[in-house]
């Protein structure tokens, strides 16, 4: 099954073509990061406007790179939520129009499910289920048990900021630029041997939830009250986030007996997070290459393959700004 996947939930206009949920034929991403950088975060109206401009050229490029004609496609998949309403609408209406014009089924995909299935795109042996899934992005920090394709149990989530949002806010406080994940990671490489130890919110031994707002406040306090270099504060922040994310994911893997841990979402591009997770995990850790961790269309096409198998395809699709992947 050949699927065109379209993604516009936040600030990347993206499209990719994937065969059978695994073989990536193309993956084209037009990032608006540089446009939003001057505002220090994503401005929703600006994002929708740029999606409109970039959408069709990105779809054309994805088909051309895949050497594929519209008539070769078996389905069109699109992120229907969660995300920014105006941004989602651009992708969804494009996908609906193309599905109608080309007479193809339309598959609405949950953005978080897309992040999970980025783990099926690398050529190596795919993950087996059940698996513990940690999705850490600009809008989400979710710990799930994927019991089977499309069947998820929510084990923990953030109670305030998402992990990526914490990176973005900490970077802003430190004057490191947007998006904050890559800038913090880069700054932290220049840190001295004794970065400040910043607080971890464990929220009690039994909880698998996260909280990052206290850490964000601690970054602001240390930056204002001490003469610690920015690189040291960035390293202290990154170490605290990585410590909490990895310990909670590993705890859950031990408690559930899941066969592996799947790491996904933009923050999964973080080198220390990938490394520490692998060191601490008792089971294999799957993590997509960094370019497939951040938002892209190929992951939506991959997820759609498994959604279609479960019979989830509809033309009366509408955006779902909040769409929980599991209750």
Instruction: Indicate the DSSP class of residue 195.
Output: P
In degrees, to the nearest 5, what angle opens at C-alpha 2 toward C-alphas 31 and 321? 45
Q: 125-144: which residues touch ligand KG4 (CB under 6 A)?
A: 137-139
For Zn ion, the closer of residues 218 and 249 by Cβ is 249
Gap between the Cα atoms of 112 and 244, Å rounded: 21
Write down the least CB distance from residue 74 to ligand KG4, Å. 26
Q: If residue 7 lies in a helix (H) or strand (E), which one and from where to where?
A: strand 2-7
H helix runs in the chain, sequence order: 33-37, 44-65, 85-102, 111-117, 163-173, 180-188, 213-225, 230-256, 271-280, 290-293, 297-309
Could you tell me which stretch among 49-57, 122-130, 180-188, 251-259 binds ligand KG4 (CB under 6 A)?
180-188
Number of residues that bind ligand KG4 (CB under 6 A): 20
Q: Which residues pair with 6 in a beta bridge?
A: 15, 78
Q: 187-216: which residues touch ligand KG4 (CB under 6 A)?
A: none
Write down the least CB distance from residue 294 to ligand KG4, Å. 3
Residue 89, C-beta contacts closer than 8 angstroms, at least 6 positions apart: 48, 319
Instruction: Identify the burial level of 244 via C-beta atoms within 10 angstroms of its C-beta, where 0-12 means exposed, 13-18 middle and 19 or more buried.
Output: buried
Write down the least CB distance from residue 293 to Zn ion, Å. 9
Write down the least CB distance from residue 291 to ligand KG4, Å. 10
Write down the least CB distance from residue 312 to ligand KG4, Å. 21
Residue 20 CA, chain-centre distance (Å), reads: 21
Number of residues that bind Zn ion (CB under 5 A): 2
For ligand KG4, the closer of residues 9 and 104 by Cβ is 9
Examine residue 168 and tell whether it contacts ligand KG4 (CB under 6 A).
yes
Q: If residue 75 lies in a helix (H) or strand (E), which one and from where to where?
A: strand 75-81
DSSP string covering 116-155, please? HHGGGSSSSPPP-SSEEEEEE-SS-EEEEEEEETTEEEEE
For ligand KG4, the closer of residues 167 and 323 by Cβ is 167
Write down the least CB distance from residue 240 to ligand KG4, Å. 13
For Zn ion, the closer of residues 164 and 177 by Cβ is 164
Examine residue 137 and tell whether it contacts Zn ion (CB under 5 A).
yes
For Zn ion, the closer of residues 179 and 236 by Cβ is 179
Examine residue 185 and tell whether it contacts ligand KG4 (CB under 6 A).
yes
Tokens of 219: 């970054």
Examine residue 32 and tell whether it contacts Zn ion (CB under 5 A).
no
For ligand KG4, the closer of residues 127 and 266 by Cβ is 266
**Residue ranges that bind Zn ion, judged by CB under 5 A:** 137, 295
**Residue ranges that bind ligand KG4, judged by CB under 6 A:** 10, 137-139, 164-165, 167-168, 179-182, 185, 265-267, 269-270, 294-295
């Amino acid at each position: 099954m050949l699927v065109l996947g379209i993604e516009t939930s936040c600030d990347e206009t993206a499209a990719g073509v994937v065969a059978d949920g695994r073989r990536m034929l193309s993956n084209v991403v037009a990032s608006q990061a540089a446009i939003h950088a001057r505002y220090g975060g994503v401005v929703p109206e600006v994002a929708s406007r740029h999606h409109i401009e970039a959408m069709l050229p990105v779809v054309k490029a994805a088909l051309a790179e895949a050497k594929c004609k519209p008539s070769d496609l078996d389905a069109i998949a699109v992120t229907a939520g969660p995300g920014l309403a105006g941004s989602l609408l651009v992708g969804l209406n494009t996908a609906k129009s193309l599905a109608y014009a080309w007479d193809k089924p339309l598959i609405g995909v949950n953005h978080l499910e897309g992040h999970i299935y980025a783990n099926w795109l690398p050529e190596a042996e795919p993950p087996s289920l059940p698996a513990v899934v940690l999705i850490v992005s600009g809008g989400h920090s979710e710990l799930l048990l994927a019991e089977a394709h499309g069947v998820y149990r929510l084990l923990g989530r953030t109670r305030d900021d998402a992990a990526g949002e914490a990176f973005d806010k900490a970077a802003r406080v430190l004057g490191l630029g947007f998006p904050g994940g890559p800038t913090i990671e880069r700054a932290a490489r220049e840190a001295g041997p004794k970065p400040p130890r910043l607080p971890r919110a464990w929220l009690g031994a039994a909880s698998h939830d996260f909280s990052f707002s206290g850490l964000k406040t601690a970054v602001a306090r240390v930056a204002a009250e001490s003469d610690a270099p920015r690189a040291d504060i960035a390293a202290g922040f990154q170490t605290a986030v990585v410590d909490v994310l990895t310990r909670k994911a590993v705890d859950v893997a031990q408690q559930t007996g899941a066969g592996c841990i799947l790491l996904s979402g933009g923050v999964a591009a973080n080198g220390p997070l990938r490394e520490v997770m692998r060191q601490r995990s008792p089971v294999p850790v799957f993590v997509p290459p960094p370019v497939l961790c951040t938002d892209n269309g190929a992951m939506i096409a991959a997820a759609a393959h498994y959604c279609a198998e479960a019979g989830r395809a509809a033309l009366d699709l509408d955006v779902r700004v909040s769409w929980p992947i599991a209750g």
